[in-house]
């Protein structure tokens, strides 16, 4: 299924996208697409309800209604750095032997088409298309990738917006450059694993003002999503609803010569195979 949340910020209703610009409202049976729901074991129940409502014609047109992030604000957003071999090369750093972990403030989460705001004093705001992993079951000390896969509720397109001067030049704290307001557009869909297929064979792309900047595949990942979930569970407990951003391929602004950064006024478009596309306007 492709979960969505429809409505103005703070008042989103949960739904399921059924294609052709249509969705089924499930707010009468599901309070929200959050940790409680994702860990409840009710996915098959909701799938059956959605099928019945589609058959009965009980669908709505999305039209120009706003899409929020397809899951509620998580307990934590965890991020993996340098997880694409060719991205590590473009930054001049070695391919990591273990996943590089940093955190991102949960209140950075916004809808897939909401505006991105450049922070005050920013000089190096950058883009990063990423595969996001949303946790569905509490994960601690997992022993296999199979256990890790069972803890994944679904996958989502993410733009891991970053401010490189804050990240790299202000004391080595990556989270400083990752946690500014609006820095984590997510969606449009939270797609359950059964509809994603091979998660290591998804195309990722990102355009700025119509110019292709990033164009790669999750096949280039150093560490797979299952490995990342299992690895992180050795150090901290992952809770239902948590988001993991799994790293970006080459083509980020700081990788160009000279570097290219967002100044305001740009349009960013990005997407991942079977996970949907985003569009953001950048505000100075």
- pLDDT means over runs of 10, the chain (284 residues): 97 97 98 98 96 97 97 97 82 86 97 98 97 98 98 98 93 87 98 97 98 97 98 98 97 95 98 98 97
Rounded CA-CA distance 235/7 in Å is 37
DSSP code for 115: P
Q: What is the largest CA-CA distance in the chain?
A: 58
Q: For strand 184-185 and strand 109-110, is the pairing parallel, antiparallel, or unpaired? A: parallel
- Residue 215 pairs in a beta bridge with 205
**CA nearest neighbour of 138 among 147, 151, 150, 149:** 151
Q: Where does the chain hold its CATH 3.90.850.10 domain(s)?
A: 77-283
Instruction: Indicate the SS3 state at residue 164.
Output: helix
My answer on whether omega of the bond before 188 falls inside 30° of 0, hence cis, is yes
- At residue 240, the pLDDT reads 98
Quick check: 246 and 130 in contact, CB under 8 A? yes
DSSP code for 254: G
Give me 279's structure tokens.
């569009």
Quick check: 46 and 105 in contact, CB under 8 A? no
- At residue 170, the pLDDT reads 86
DSSP code for 74: P
State the fold for domain 77-283: Fumarylacetoacetate hydrolase; domain 2 (3.90.850)
Residue ranges of E strands in 53-186: 60-61, 77-81, 100-104, 109-110, 116-117, 125-126, 129-135, 152-159, 162-163, 184-185
Rounded CA-CA distance 100/154 in Å is 22
Rounded CA-CA distance 190/168 in Å is 31
- At residue 92, the pLDDT reads 75
- At residue 66, the pLDDT reads 98
């Amino acid at each position: 299924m492709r979960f969505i949340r429809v409505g103005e910020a703070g008042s989103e209703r949960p739904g399921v996208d059924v294609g052709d610009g249509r969705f089924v409202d499930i707010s009468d049976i599901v309070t929200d697409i959050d940790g409680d729901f994702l860990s409840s074991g009710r996915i098959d129940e909701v799938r059956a309800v959605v099928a019945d409502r589609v058959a009965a014609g009980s669908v709505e047109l999305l039209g120009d209604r706003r899409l929020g992030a397809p899951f509620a604000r998580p307990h934590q957003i965890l991020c993996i750095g340098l997880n694409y071999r060719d991205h590590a090369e473009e930054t001049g750093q070695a391919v990591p032997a273990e996943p590089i972990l940093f955190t991102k403030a949960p209140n950075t989460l916004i809808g897939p088409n909401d505006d991105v705001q450049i922070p005050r004093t920013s000089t190096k705001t950058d883009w990063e298309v990423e595969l996001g992993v949303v946790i569905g079951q509490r994960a601690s000390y997992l022993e296999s990738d199979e256990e890790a896969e069972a803890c994944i509720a679904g996958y989502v397109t993410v733009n891991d917006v970053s401010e490189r001067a804050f990240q790299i030049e202000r004391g080595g704290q990556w989270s400083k450059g990752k946690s500014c307001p609006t820095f984590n557009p997510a969606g449009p869909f939270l797609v359950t694993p059964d509809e994603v297929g091979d998660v290591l064979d998804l195309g990722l792309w990102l355009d700025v003002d119509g110019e292709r900047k990033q164009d790669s595949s999750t096949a280039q990942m150093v560490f797979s999503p299952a490995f990342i979930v299992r690895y992180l569970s050795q150090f901290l407990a992952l809770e239902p609803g948590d988001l993991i951003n799994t790293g970006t391929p080459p083509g980020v602004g700081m990788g160009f010569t000279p570097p290219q950064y967002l100044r305001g006024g740009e349009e960013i478009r990005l997407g991942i195979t079977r996970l949907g596309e985003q569009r953001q306007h950048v505000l100075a």
